[in-house]
Amino acid sequence: MLLAIDTSAGTSVAVLNTNVLAMATFDDPFGHAENVGIAIAEAMTKAGVTASEITAVAIGRGPAPYTGLRVGMAAGLAFAQARGIPTYGVMVLDAVAHSMSTPKLLLHADAKRKEVFVAGYESGVRTFGPAVMQPEELESFAGYEKVQAVCDASMVGLFTLDQLAKGADLNDLSALYLRSPDVSPSPGKRVSG
């Protein structure tokens, strides 16, 4: 039984065996810290499972706005650690692409600060990204169907099951920020003169 957690957009949690048994979603683009616990509890209740029946956790690693992303990742990592079960990390645009069947697909998602997170796929295989760029730069991808990606936990869960079945490595659990913290060393400023 897989518990999938994604806070790349709103807050969503799904419980899956081979299919999605239940999902709890809060669309609020903020409120991840408030909602993540309720969503986990609700998804398990709807699926009729207890925490002890969960055998693995999948988390969305982004790219996504950082503050919310970390909440779901922290919750998933802690849940898995507390139960002594494996955690799998999923690049969320891959999960969205997996849910679609577009031959040439360019997924983009809001990266804040007037930028977008982008990944390109051909026949389901990622050929570009994930990267962060200006929205105008999307124009240069001719022939791709451009879709705004909104990930949720069912996509993360289904992609995880698919990848595990194929023997893929989902062990990277680091957050995909794609940008350095927005800060630079300051020399300090004079107060007089």
Partner 1 sequence: MDFRGLTVDDLSSVMELESSVFVSDAWSSESMRSEIESPNNFYLGLFEDGLIGYAGLSTIPGSFSSDIQTIAVSSAARGRGIGRALMQELLRKAKAQGSEQVLLEVRIDNEVAISLYASLGFERIDVRKRYYQPDNVDAVIMRLRITQPLVLGIESTCDETGVGIVRGNRLLANALHSSMDEHSKYGGVVPEVAARAHLEAIAPTLNKALAEAGVQMKDIDAIAVANGPGLAGALMVGIGAAKGLALANDKPIYAVNHLIGHVGADVLERGYVQLPTIALLVSGGHTSLLLVRDLLGDAVLLGETIDDAAGEAFDKVARVLGLPYPGGPQIDKLAATGDPKAIRFPRGLSLPKDMEKHRYDFSFSGLKTAVARYVEKAEADGETINPADVAASFREAVVDVLLTKALNACAEFGVDRLLLGGGVVANARLREVAQQRCEAAGIELRIPRFSLCTDNGAMIASLGAQLVMSGHAPSSLGFGAESTLEVTVVQSP
The residues binding partner 1 (CB under 8 A) are 31-38, 40-41, 44, 50-51, 54, 66-67, 70-84, 174-175, 177, 181-186, 188, 190-193
Q: Whose Cβ is closer to partner 1: residue 83's or residue 104's?
A: 83
Look at the chain and count its residues. 193
Q: Whose Cβ is closer to partner 1: residue 51's or residue 147's?
A: 51
Min CB(84)–partner 1 separation in Å? 8
Min CB(134)–partner 1 separation in Å? 21
Q: Where are the alpha helices (DSSP H) in the chain?
A: 32-47, 66-83, 92-98, 153-165
Instruction: For 69, list phi and psi in degrees, rounded to 5.
Output: -55, -45
Q: Whose Cβ is closer to partner 1: residue 44's or residue 95's?
A: 44
Min CB(7)–partner 1 separation in Å? 8
Q: Whose Cβ is closer to partner 1: residue 16's or residue 107's?
A: 16
- Three-state SS letters, 54-75: CCEEEEECCCCCHHHHHHHHHH
Cα gap 98→115, rounded to integer Å: 24
With beta carbons less than 8 A apart as the criterion, state whether 169 and 55 touch.
Answer: no
Neighbours of 22 (CB within 10 A): 18
Q: Whose Cβ is closer to partner 1: residue 74's or residue 133's?
A: 74
Min CB(144)–partner 1 separation in Å? 31
Min CB(126)–partner 1 separation in Å? 24
